[in-house]
Amino acid sequence: MLHLLSPFEFPALLKKHVQSVVVSMLKYYHNFVGRSQAIISMSRSNNRGGGRIRVTDDSAVTIGAEVEVRAEHVAAVNATKTKESSDETRRGHRRRLKKLIQWWMVEYPDYFEVGTRVLSTEEKADPMKFYHTCDRDLVYEGLRVDMVIAYMAATKTKTTEVGADAKIYSHQHIRKINDAVMFGSRTVKQVLSSTYYSEMHSFLLSFKKETADARSHGNVE
């Protein structure tokens, strides 16, 4: 015989069902996701933001790690990688990272010591890394996003003549600093944290609104 739930029975049954689902999810997390690394890859398509979550297992030992790829094959791979962006774009990324590092050295010397590292001779000689005149790079794993955002906020206003209205740089100008950080992390194969992406996205979204307001007053460079 079909039993109809009373208004008093339904909440208790729903609570029990939710608890069961939560327990199952926690078991899944500890048994699988807990030993894996979730990488959020942001992509753009038709000017719309998109994202995917890949659950990967980086605990496995790389098979045949001691086998070196031959020089001619490395050259072929590098020839393809150069199509990712132009040489001028890569040089621009390095210039922005160099300015960020120099700013930290002056404004936050304690973080400069732990948040950057000295480049090796081999790294500076690698043409694919575009270090050129750089002698340091960021430490991308564990990078403090607030230190990058602090630099953005401190340099968003263009220096003007005394008495002139202050102008701020465009959203695109400031966003390129983040583009440089992501370029740097890809180049050395270090993964930025999910916190970095979420906090940076929030800041850039707010800054876009700030530039829109400033543009209505003619105060965008």
pLDDT of residue 4: 59
**In the predicted model, is pLDDT for residue 215 greater than 60?**
yes
Residue 54 has a pLDDT of: 59
Tell me the mean pLDDT in the region 187-200: 92
**Residue 97 binned pLDDT confidence (cut-offs 50, 70, 90):** very high
The pLDDT value recorded for residue 78 is 61
Statement: residue 121 has pLDDT above 90: yes
pLDDT at 53 over 70: no
Write down the pLDDT at residue 113: 97
| Confidence at residue 39, expressed as pLDDT on a 0 to 100 scale | 45
User: Stretch 101-112: mean pLDDT, rounded?
Assistant: 97
136-160: pLDDT as tens digits: 999 999 999 999 999 999 999 987 6
Residue 34 has pLDDT above 50, yes or no: no
Which band of pLDDT confidence, cut at 50, 70 and 90, is reported for residue 207?
Answer: very high
Say what the pLDDT of residue 115 is. Answer: 97
SS (H, E, C) the chain: CCCCCCCCHHHHHHHHHHHHHHHHHHHHHHHCHHHCEEEEEEEEECCEEEEEEEEECCCCCCCCCCCCCCHHHHHHHHHHHCCCCCHHHHHHHHHHHHHHHHHHHHHCHHHHHHHEEECCHHHHHCCCCCCCCCCEEECCCCCCHHHHHHHHHHCCEECCCCCCCCEECCHHHHHHHHHHHHHHHHHCCCCCCHHHHHHHHHHHHHHHHHHHHHHHCCCEC
